[in-house]
A = this chain, B = another copy of it.
Amino acid sequence: MKNLRLVSISLAAAVTVLFSIAAETAAEFSARARALHERLVTLDTHLDTPLSLRRANWDIMQRHNYAVDGTQVDYPRLVKGGIDGGWWAIYTAQGPLTPAGRQAARNTALQTALRIHQLVAAHPQQFELALTADDAARIATAGKRVFYLSMENGYPFGEDLSLVRTFYELGVRMVSPVHVLHNDLADSASDAKARVWDGLSPLGKQLVAECNRLGIVLDASHASDAAFDQMLEVSATPVLLSHSSCRTVCPHPRNIDDERMRRLAARGGVIQLNTVSAYVIDTPANPGRNQAMADLRAKYGNRGGLTEEQNQAMLRERREIVAKFPVPMATFDDFLKHVLHALKIVGPEHVGFGADWDGGGGVTGMEDVSFCYKITEALLLAGYTEKNLANIWGGNALRLLRAAEDYAKSLK
């Protein structure tokens, strides 16, 4: 989810910097949680950090501050949060469903893939590309960060599914067909317009089959309920929700209901819990703010294309909008309600985390990836075991990748 990026910056910059330094000082996690993260492979299934790579002079090896530059993931913060890596998303904003629109989406996605590869190749001591389920443990054990590639939105494929193989060969191992607007492949959960396909389009069903054939995990986050149902039905391997929340806890169409969650788990699937505030807590309609944010987006476009000066101006104006049209912000405890609810409904073999860092995620008390120990501490307190946490923090998502690999191999 990109539309609510930086939503939690609600104080003047100076104050928030001080606040966040204070929070950080306080964020000394228990030795038990830290030792656990040392032993486990800890992965997040939806990192929008590749968007940061478009920013001039932004260096992933430097420590940044969310309150200052709006980013939530860099190498020092991954280390501090005890996170080994995860799925780095090639995100594509939904544009027009025209030949030119599809070509532009393909071209942009290819450049994003290239940018991720360049990043990984430039830091061989710290980063490594992961292509198989077995790679994660090997890379994490070597003390490096794990880079799986995923695609958020299948729009770059256009109507040419031969590109699925190309992106697979570029390293992509997880694909979600649709984002916040209906497209050629599927209906979205969030498009205000009437549904187009009543789920997946015929091409969307072919996409599922092609992903199965290649060994790519299907990601149903952002898909409409009907599209979710059909992905579950059509896919030969278990489906993942890379960054989703629980509709019982927060009644938003972007979230998943308990019945669907149970069906997902019954077929071996996993829900990875999201931290985007507007999906974590019921947020009242705020048309003034929506309009002002839409105007801001129209003025500045995609944040990735901005100079640092423009980015600072955009952040300043955004803070003014947020101050003028306040919305309640979800807290860490609100997020935890979703985690515990999902665990109650489907159990620890079907739950994980996809916080949507750098894509609109972050709650008060867990503003960036460096706070991830908090989740572990809360789950230890709630009585979950090391084995449970091993599955939740990575084992479950990797099980789905392994199932996708095994199915692809079985076809050969």
Contacts and interface: CB of A to CB of B under 8 A. Distances in A.
Copies of this chain assembled into the complex: 2
B117 A169 contact: no
A348 B119 CA distance: 41
Interface residues on A, range: 20 to 34
Contacts of A163: 103, 107
Given A117-B121, A118-B118, A121-B121, A103 B160 contact: yes
Contacts of A100: 162
A119 B120 CA distance: 11
A226 interface: no
Contacts of A117: 114, 117-118, 121
A162 B156 CA distance: 13
A165 interface: yes
Contacts of A96: none
B169 A111 contact: yes
A194 to B, nearest CB: 31
Interface string A41-53: 0000000000000
B162 A103 contact: yes
A312 interface: no
B114 A162 contact: no
Contact of A162 (B107, B122, B165): B107
A214 interface: no
9 contacts: A100-B162, A103-B160, A103-B163, A104-B162, A113-B114, A114-B114, A114-B117, A117-B118, A117-B121
